[in-house]
């Protein structure tokens, strides 16, 4: 086994890489309490300008080959955190799409790149290959709808919907600074 230190957004932004949750992993289960702690950690890192260790992500290449050029890896450890970060980035994209005047901190990066770089693989892909993170059957369609900005399915994963709403609510607070959140994610 080889351990490598990596920036979260660099890991999430690897081109043509997809994290797949193995069928034996539990469904997404983080509550608002865990989301609040993560939010506070990210915002503190963004304010202090120091890196913050968010935990390990353990993944292995999927053994079977794919007809696409997407590198699929099985996420063994870090599912809850990676899913929560995906919800946070989706909420940030939603916020900036509604408030484009507050996106100056992105510099040359377009708002649409938040979804394109960190939530999706290249636009040339359809189906499962389009998504950076593929959750278990019970959670998959709900996450896909949220990162796509489309309506959630009737049979939804409540935790995913609730935690996305939690981040959206945090971002609509008076003191929210999207540049600080972005710095913390970086």
Question: Domain limits at 117?
Answer: 8-185
Residue 53 lies in a domain: yes
Residue 2 lies in a domain: no
pLDDT digits (tens, 9 = 90+) for 160-186: 999 999 999 999 988 999 999 999 999
Nearest to 117, CA basis, from 12, 19, 18: 12
| Range from 46-60, 93-107, 124-138 carrying the lowest mean pLDDT | 46-60
Residue 78 lies in a domain: yes
Does the structure show a pLDDT above 80 at 122?
A: no
Q: What percent of the chain has pLDDT over 90?
A: 66
Residue 162 lies in a domain: yes
Q: Crossing angle, helix 32-48 and helix 178-185, to 10 degrees? A: 90
Residue 175 lies in a domain: yes
Does the structure show a pLDDT above 70 at 1?
A: no
pLDDT digits (tens, 9 = 90+) for 12-47: 988 889 999 998 888 999 999 999 999 999 999 999
Look at residue 87 in the predicted model and tell me its pLDDT: 98
Q: What is the pTM of this model?
A: 0.92
Mean pLDDT of 49-57: 75
Residue 1 lies in a domain: no
Nearest to 182, CA basis, from 122, 118, 98: 118
Total domains in the fold of the chain: 1
Residue 3 lies in a domain: no
Look at residue 49 in the predicted model and tell me its pLDDT: 75
Contacts of 145 (CB under 8 A, 6+ apart): 151, 152, 153, 156
Residue 76 lies in a domain: yes
């Amino acid at each position: 086994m080889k351990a490598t230190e990596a920036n979260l957004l660099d890991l999430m932004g690897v081109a043509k890489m997809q994290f797949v949750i193995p069928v034996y992993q539990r469904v997404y289960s983080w509550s608002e309490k865990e989301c609040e702690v993560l939010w506070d950690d990210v915002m503190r890192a963004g304010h202090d300008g120091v890196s913050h260790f968010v935990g390990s992500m353990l993944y292995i290449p999927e053994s079977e080959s794919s007809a696409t050029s997407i590198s699929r890896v099985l996420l063994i450890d870090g599912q809850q955190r990676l899913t929560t970060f995906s919800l946070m980035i989706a909420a940030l994209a939603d916020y900036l799409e509604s408030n484009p005047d507050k996106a100056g901190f992105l510099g040359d990066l377009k708002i649409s790149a938040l979804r394109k770089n960190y939530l999706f693989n290249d636009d040339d892909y359809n189906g499962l290959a389009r998504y950076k993170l593929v959750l278990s059957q019970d959670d998959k369609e709900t996450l896909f709808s949220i990162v796509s900005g489309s309506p959630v399915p009737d049979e939804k994963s409540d935790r995913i919907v609730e935690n996305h709403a939690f981040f959206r609510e945090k971002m609509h607070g008076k003191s929210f600074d999207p540049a600080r959140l972005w710095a913390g994610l970086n």
